[in-house]
Amino acid sequence: RLNNLVCVNFSDCLCRAKGCLNIVYELVNANSSVQELLLGGNEIDADTMQKISQLSIQLPSLKNLALGSNNLGSKFDTIKRHFKNEIIDFGEESDDQGTLSASEEENIEESESDGGEEENGASGEDDWDNDEEFLASFVDKDIMAALGMLTVEEGQTLSYSNEASKRWDTVEDGKRVAAKILETKRIHTLDLSGNTLGVQASGPIAEALKKHPELKIAQW
């Protein structure tokens, strides 16, 4: 349990509706003490936005839920009025990206469906909760390059530093990042900003972070 986590930032990560809803659900399910949750710029539609807003009420420590620059379209004013409070920030209507077209929604659904099948196939072979087996799977020619993607700074901050490698889309990409997380003894701040972290890659990273209940800030 990430009991010390106070800030979760998934702004402009294209987690999309399904991913963002899962993030909020897991935080609620874990009885998280998160204070700041940033989900702006993730192509969240109006229906999902309502669900996220309702779920957020169950996060007792939440002080700021940023949901600007998503896809509310014509429902922007209605949703903003209905859920108006001091915690939820829907941003300005001028920053809203409008309603997704039918073709865009279909493409997103197909992408998530394909990704889910690939991820399920891979997860059947790997046990992310077993540290020794998990780390042993990285003994190959790419391990040094993979670990070089992240650096440990003073103040127990784990930050992404390799400007040349910014696209993490697959389960294997996520495993490389997770390996570095698992080998680091203590992490108070995780900075993975400036990348194209995909839904599949986030799986092993999320599992690795379960080993760091001391984590306070996660920047994606």
Which domains are present in the chain?
Answer: 1-100 (3.80.10.10)
The secondary structure element, H or E, covering residue 36 is: strand 36-38
Query: Which stretches does DSSP call E strand in 51-208?
Result: 64-66, 88-89, 150-153, 157-160, 189-191
Q: Which residues neighbour 20 within 8 Å (Cβ) at sequence distance 6 or greater?
A: 10, 39, 42, 44, 48, 52
Please write the tens of the pLDDT for every residue from 182-203: 888 888 888 877 777 777 888 8
The two tokens of residue 10 are: 């998934």
Q: What is the total residue count of the chain?
A: 220
Give the mean model confidence (pLDDT) for residues 108-116.
53
Contact (Cβ atoms closer than 8 angstroms) between residue 12 and residue 197:
no
CA dihedral 37, 53, 29, 65 (to 10 degrees): 10
> Structure pTM?
0.56
